[in-house]
Amino acid sequence: MGEDHDHHHPAERTDVERRAAALEALLVEKGIITTEFVDQVVDAYAHDIGPMNGAKVVARAWVDSQYKERLLEDGTAAIGELGFGGAEGDHIVVVENTPTVHNVVVCTLCSCYPWPVLGLPPNWYKSPPYRARMVREPRALLTEMGCAVPASAEVRVWDSSAEVRYLVLPQRPEGSEQASEDELAALVTRDAMIGVARL
Ligand code: FE
């Protein structure tokens, strides 16, 4: 019985899926894009572009203090050094968590997000409650999301826009002194780079 729900029959497409399919068909028909192009983009965001890119940036910053300096000075350029950039990443600002500052990112207007380092935004990031409440009552919302920020730390909320996207540089976890850069990257989560989790 429950099995039927897990299967994905074309006949059971959701409203959004039908709209996406209709738009794709129309754009292909008009010669604006090809089906192959759509497949390439979807594939890139499924396999090559995602939080694993941001995790590499964070790990590099943790092991290389000069890289970290460049990253905080000019995020876009330093991220480009690792080969990441492109759509929705023209101007990325990296904000650093410290024992006294916890940064968190939101887009109050819509869903702006640093695609080259985090991939596509999760649904909750685009939801009206998140967008409204992260500005109005960040500490309460963070607590609800399981992110306990020490009372001694100031919470700074960064509002993304089409011009500027933010990436949080989390604090390096205690006890990770011996870890290699790759091992460190494996510790970094998407949510920590949005600022709704701590490592
Ligand atoms: Fe936006």
Assigned domain for 4 exists: no
Assigned domain for 1 exists: no
Q: Which residues are catalytic?
A: 107, 110-112
Assigned domain for 181 exists: yes
Q: How far is the CA of 84 from the centre of ligand 1 (A)?
A: 20
β-strands 92-96, 154-159: how paired?
unpaired
Answer whether residue 12 shows pLDDT above 90.
no
pTM of the model: 0.85
Assigned domain for 101 exists: yes
How many domains is the chain partitioned into structurally?
Answer: 1
Distance CA 56, CA 37 (A): 27
Assigned domain for 52 exists: yes
pLDDT tens for each residue of 134-185 = 999 999 999 999 999 999 999 999 999 888 999 999 999 999 999 999 999 9
Q: How far is the CA of 11 from the centre of ligand 1 (A)?
A: 32
Give the helix/strand (H/E) hosting 133: helix 128-136
Give the helix/strand (H/E) hosting 168: strand 165-169
Assigned domain for 186 exists: yes
Q: How many degrees, rounded to 5, is the angle at CA 48 between CA 171 and CA 161?
A: 60
- Domain interval for residue 31: 15-194
Beta carbons of 157 and 106 less than 8 angstroms apart: yes
Beta carbons of 72 and 169 less than 8 angstroms apart: yes
Assigned domain for 10 exists: no
Assigned domain for 112 exists: yes
Q: How far is the CA of 164 from the centre of ligand 1 (A)?
A: 10
Q: How far is the CA of 111 from the centre of ligand 1 (A)?
A: 4
Q: How far is the CA of 126 from the centre of ligand 1 (A)?
A: 8
> 90 φ, ψ to 5°?
-65, -30
Distance CA 120, CA 150 (A): 29
pLDDT tens for each residue of 28-39 = 899 998 888 888
What CATH number is given to the structural domain containing 175? 3.90.330.10
Beta carbons of 188 and 199 less than 8 angstroms apart: yes
